[in-house]
Amino acid sequence: MSKELFENLSKLSTEQRNPRSMNLDTLSTEEILKLINNEDKLVPLAVEEEIPYIAQAVEVAVEAFKNGGRLIYVGAGTSGRLGILDASECPPTFGTPHEMIVGVMSGGRDAVFRAKEGSEDRADEGEQAMVDMNITDKDVVCGIAASRRTPYVVAAIKKAKELGAKTLYVTTNPRAEFDLDVDVAICPEVGPEVLAGSTRMKSGTAQKLVLNMITTTSMVRLGKIYENMMVDLQMNSQKLEERAKRVVMTVTGLEYEEAMKYLEQAGGHVKTALVMILADVDADEARARLKQANGFVREALKNGG
């Protein structure tokens, strides 16, 4: 089994040696940094090639959210941490419930902060994680694995599909080599890393870009953005309170004290405050308009206008 694994790993593009960094250990500090930076510049171009597939993933996620489903990221190591990072940033940014977008990682919570080598090989734990998450046909489960082959992730995705969920997969190995049964595969081909096999580098950057695109675009499609501003953020820290005031001030042209007054009347809800000001209505009318408009501020401003 170990020889078979060795041969499989040897074939992965992310495990190959990069011909442009063969003399990495002879370079000066600045030369190393320039080399890394030049390789990093290739990542957005690889992601750009996958936009049609990322768009499909967004459609799947939006449909799930509209039906009360969740987006569950599953990964190991760097990939798992990126899923948890993206999931954890959605509630303060978009006002989503914490259970709406969730990250699951091999090795559990402790592995987020300290690597647990070997946990990624436990396929049975990947399956069990999906059972523990009570996955249903309302949910979307997104596997994240640079190599594609991570046993924990592969098993989790297979189990999620058996439980009726839609499945996505993000890998940085070529689409031509992708052989898993998923609804949408996203395969930005970043090529060999500057440091052979260190997929926390270009592969991790590509995965971060893709996850940002999936959740941000989904939230736009759900009406959580007005113009290009966050209007469903939660005022649960001083920074976010001030950001909420700034959003209201920027959109409406009001001064600081006036923006704060409207936010207080709106119960701290930026969308409600915006509709109150821009449509010149009270808080109850603003909430009613937003409900009728499914949370879209632009539509709420048209209602009754």
Q: What is the location of CATH 1.10.8.1080 in the chain?
A: 226-302
CA-based radius of gyration for the chain: 22
Residue for token pair 């399956």: 127
Give me 191's structure tokens: 């090529």
Q: What is the location of CATH 3.40.50.10490 in the chain?
A: 8-221
- CA–CA gap between residue 281 and residue 199 (Å, rounded): 53
Closest by alpha carbon to 146, among 121, 169, 180? 169
Closest by alpha carbon to 13, among 177, 241, 159? 177
Model's pTM, two decimal places? 0.91
Catalytic (active site) residue 7: no
Listing DSSP states for 25-73 in one string gives GGS-HHHHHHHHHHHHTTHHHHHHHTHHHHHHHHHHHHHHHHTT--EEE
Residue 108 has pLDDT above 80, yes or no: yes
Task: Tell how strand 166-170 and strand 101-105 pair up.
Answer: unpaired
Contacts of residue 35, defined as CB under 8 A and 6 or more positions apart, other chains included, come to 20, 21, 24, 27, 194
% of the chain beyond a pLDDT of 90: 82
What's the pLDDT tens digit per position in 7-24? 565 577 888 899 999 999
What's the pLDDT tens digit per position in 264-289? 999 999 999 999 999 999 999 999 99
In this structure, the number of other CB atoms found within 10 A of the CB of residue 268 comes to 16
- CA–CA gap between residue 299 and residue 295 (Å, rounded): 8
- CA–CA gap between residue 195 and residue 145 (Å, rounded): 18
Query: Mean pLDDT for the chain?
Result: 92
Amino acid identity of residue 22, one-letter, is M
The catalytic position among 59, 89, 241, 285 is 89
The catalytic position among 15, 39, 50, 120 is 120
> Which CATH entry fits the domain spanning 8-221: 2.60.410.10, 3.40.50.10490, 3.40.50.620, 3.40.50.300?
3.40.50.10490
What's the pLDDT tens digit per position in 48-88? 999 999 999 999 999 999 999 999 999 999 999 999 999 99
Catalytic (active site) residue 39: no
Predicted confidence band of residue 207 (pLDDT cuts 50, 70, 90): very high
Residue 198 has pLDDT above 70, yes or no: yes
CATH of domain 226-302: 1.10.8.1080
